[in-house]
Amino acid sequence: MQAEFLPTAPRPGSAWAEVPVVTLPAGSSGHDPVSWVGVSRQGRPLWRADVDASAGHSCFHEVCCIDETVFIGVGESLFVLAASGSVLMHWPMDGYFGSLYPCHDLPGLDSGVLVASATALLRLDAKGQALWHSQALGWDGVLVHYVSQGVIHGSGECDPPGGWVDFVLDLQTGQRWGEVGRVEENVLS
């Protein structure tokens, strides 16, 4: 399965205009779409997600598929949808959606995603269920640099602009690690 942001609203008669539509967030009017995500299998359009402005505003947006699950990060939200297009989860973000880090791209993680918001990290399994949510790691952005030996290395912008502070989190719990490898209370440095 593949998912992609479509550059514009689908035009009548196009393949993306003829597929079933899911409006995000669920229950929104859908009258003010700001993003369109097309989901296909082997190049054949299956369904489309129209993201309403009520999802919030952010300059960051990303989409990925893990097995039969679609993760859509946009505005102030992360949406998790099944292959059928049914909404599994809606995760409001701390401040704004930042980035998706598919676990298959990070050594030591088997499946699911790490989701960065303005202030924290959220680890989800391949079905979109929360494994953990970190405490505050920054004020205006969180980045994952790499995963090694059971820990996540990253940085959070604690003093914008440019005041990035490094952090190390336990991969299994999301708790901050101290310099000697012990778990500390996970708060801003």
Residues 6+ apart with CB under 8 A from 162: none
pLDDT recorded at residue 88:
94
Read off the tokens for 59: 């300059």
pLDDT recorded at residue 140:
95
pLDDT recorded at residue 109:
73
Are the C-beta atoms of 31 and 4 separated by less than 8 Å? no
Read off the tokens for 183: 């778990």
pLDDT recorded at residue 178:
63
Each residue's pLDDT tens digit, 67-112: 999 999 999 999 999 999 999 999 999 999 999 999 877 776 778 9
pLDDT recorded at residue 104:
79
Residue among 67, 39, 55 nearest 127 (CA) = 67
Average pLDDT, the chain: 90
| Whole-prediction pTM | 0.89
Taking 50 as the pLDDT cut, the residues of the chain under it are: 179-189
In Å, what is the CA distance from 170 to each residue of 99, 132, 184, 185? Answer: 19, 11, 10, 12
pLDDT recorded at residue 180:
37
